[in-house]
Structure 1
Amino acid sequence: MTGQRDRWAELTGGQAGEEYARRFARLAASGHDVHGEASFCAALLTPASRVLDAGCGTGRIAIRLAELGHHCTGVDVDSSMLAVARREAPAQDWLLGDLARLDDLGLEPGFDLVLAAGNVIPLLAPGTGATVVGQLAAALRPGGLLVTGMGLDAAHLPLDEAPLTIAEFDQWCAGAGLTPRERWATWSGDPYHDGGGYAVSVHTRPAG
C-alpha cells in the first residue's frame, strides 16, 4: 500500500460494498442497462481474451465479461467491495491490492485489455495517478488496450471538483508509453467533445 488513503476510502470509509451492490441491483430491477462498460469492452476483444479489471469494485463488469467468455482478474483496494465480488463469483480471481503497487501482486503480464471504470482514476490517492497508469500499462501485452471511464467535472464525480483534466490523464498515458486510439462521451458511444463532463478513453500499448 502507498500509506495514503485514496479518495474513494475518504468518501466511504471502505465500507461501501453492500450498498454499492444494492444500488446496481435496484438499477437492474428497474430495467436500466448495467452492462454498458462490459459491452463496450467486449466489442474491442477477441474471444477468450485476458482482462484485468483494475478497481473492480463488486465485480459487476468482470463477472459479465466472464459470462461472455473472457478470462477476468479483478483487483481492488476496498475489501468490502471484494467481499461482494467473491460471494457473487467465487471461481473468479479477485485480488486485494493497491493499483500503485500492482507489480507486487505477482500477476502474469500480457493482458489483452486493462479496464479502469467507475471513476477509478479520479478517485486514486492524490499524487499516484501517473504511477498507477504506468502500472496498468505494464500489465498489457504489446497491442493491448487500456480502457478508462472518468468524470471530468463535479456533475460526474462524487467530489466537489475534478482532481485532474483529460489533458493531464493523456500526459500520464504518454509517459507510460501508451498512444490514444479513441474517446467517447459515454459507454454507449456518444461522441466526445472538448470540455465534456465524462470521457471513455481507449489507449493502446504499441506493438513491438
Structure 2
Amino acid sequence: MTEPVPSVHSREGYARLARELAGYAHPWRRELRGPDPELTFDLLLSSLLTPETRVLEAGCGHGPDARRFGPLAASWTAYDFIPEFLERARREAPHAHFHEWNGRGAVPAGLRGPFDLIVSRRGPTSVILRLPELAAPGAHFLSVGPRRHVPQVPERLAQVGWTVLGEWQVSVRAFAPTWEDWVTRCRFMDEEVRPEEWATRATPRGLPYQEERHIVLAGPGES
C-alpha cells in the first residue's frame, strides 16, 4: 500500500493542489450514491443573487463560484491566501475582483465593501468574526462546511450577534475506491487512518462512508 502525500492544510499543501489538480478540490477519488451534498448550498446561493447583490467570497480557491455565479450578481469580490489559486481564478473569472488575504489583520481596501452577501464554500470560518465590518444592512452570510456539524459557525455567529436563519445537515453515501483514496481522505479530513477498517469494511466498490455537509444561512440581529 502506497503512502499518500501529507495533510494538505498548509500553504505548501494548497500550492501542491494547485499544481496537481489545477485548483482547490478534494484530492481523493469518490463515488457518490446520491446527489452531491453541496447542491443545497448551490440552490441557496443562486436564490440569494440579484443584479443588485454585492458578494464577498471568503476562501475562493481557484474561483469556480466566481466563474459560475458571479455574472448573476452586481459584483463578485473574493479573497484567498494562495497565489497559485488566485492566478487561475483571475483567468477564469475576469469579471470578478480577487485579492490575496489570509483573513487576519486589517481588511484590504478592496475587500471593505459593504457587501450584501458573504459566502464561504468550505472556506475559513474566521470571516464570520469580520461580518460587522464587512456586511451591509440586511446582509446574509451563507456557508457550507465539510461535516454534518461545524460548531465554529454557529458559535462565531453568536459572537458577532448574527442569527441562524436556516441550517441544513446533508449526508450522502459514498465510496472511496482504493486504500490510497481512503488514506488521502482521512488525512485531508484530519481523521485517524485505521487499516483494520479497510480490511473489514471494504467492498469491491471500495470503502463506504458518508459524504457530509453543514449549510448555514444567517443574518444580522434578531430573527
TM-score (norm 1): 0.66
Residues 24 and 61, structure 2, Cα contact 8 Å, conserved in 1 = no
Percent identical: 23
Indicate whether 1:45 and 2:49 are aligned: yes
**Deviations along 1:150-174, whole A, 9 cap, x unmatched?**
1237xxxxxxxxxxx6444312111
CA shift in 2, pair 1:63/1:57, >3 Å: same
Query: 2:158 matched to which residue of 1?
Result: 174
The 5 Å alignment of 1:1-208 reads: 8-9=9-10, 12-18=13-19, 19-21=21-23, 36=39, 37-101=41-105, 103-121=107-125, 129=126, 132-152=127-147, 166-186=150-170, 197-206=212-221
Determine which structure has the larger strand proportion and give its number.
Answer: 2
In 1, Cα distance between equivalents of 2:22 and 2:156: 29
3-state SS of paired residue (1:47): coil
Which of 1 and 2 has greater Rg? Answer: 2
Report the RMSD for the aligned CA atoms in angstroms. Answer: 3.4
Number of paired residues?
A: 168
What is the one-letter code of the residue matched to 2:65?
I
Residues 17 and 82, structure 1, Cα contact 8 Å, conserved in 2 = no
Q: CA deviation at 1:13?
A: 4.8
CA shift in 2, pair 1:90/1:197, >3 Å: closer
- Structure 1 alignment gaps of length 5 or more: 1-6, 122-128, 154-164, 187-195
In 1, Cα distance between equivalents of 2:143 and 2:54: 16
CA shift in 2, pair 1:172/1:67, >3 Å: same
In 2, Cα distance between equivalents of 1:145 and 1:106: 20
In 2, Cα distance between equivalents of 1:178 and 1:22: 29
Q: CA deviation at 1:14?
A: 2.6
3-state SS of paired residue (2:108): helix
Q: CA deviation at 1:98?
A: 1.2
3-state SS of paired residue (2:105): helix
What is the one-letter code of the residue matched to 1:52?
L
What is the one-letter code of the residue matched to 2:219?
T
Residues 17 and 83, structure 1, Cα contact 8 Å, conserved in 2 = no
**Deviations along 1:22-71, whole A, 9 cap, x unmatched?**
969xx9xxxx98x9444421202333310001101111111212222441
In 1, Cα distance between equivalents of 2:115 and 2:24: 30
In 2, Cα distance between equivalents of 1:119 and 1:15: 17
Residues 119 and 151, structure 1, Cα contact 8 Å, conserved in 2 = no
TM-score (norm 2): 0.62
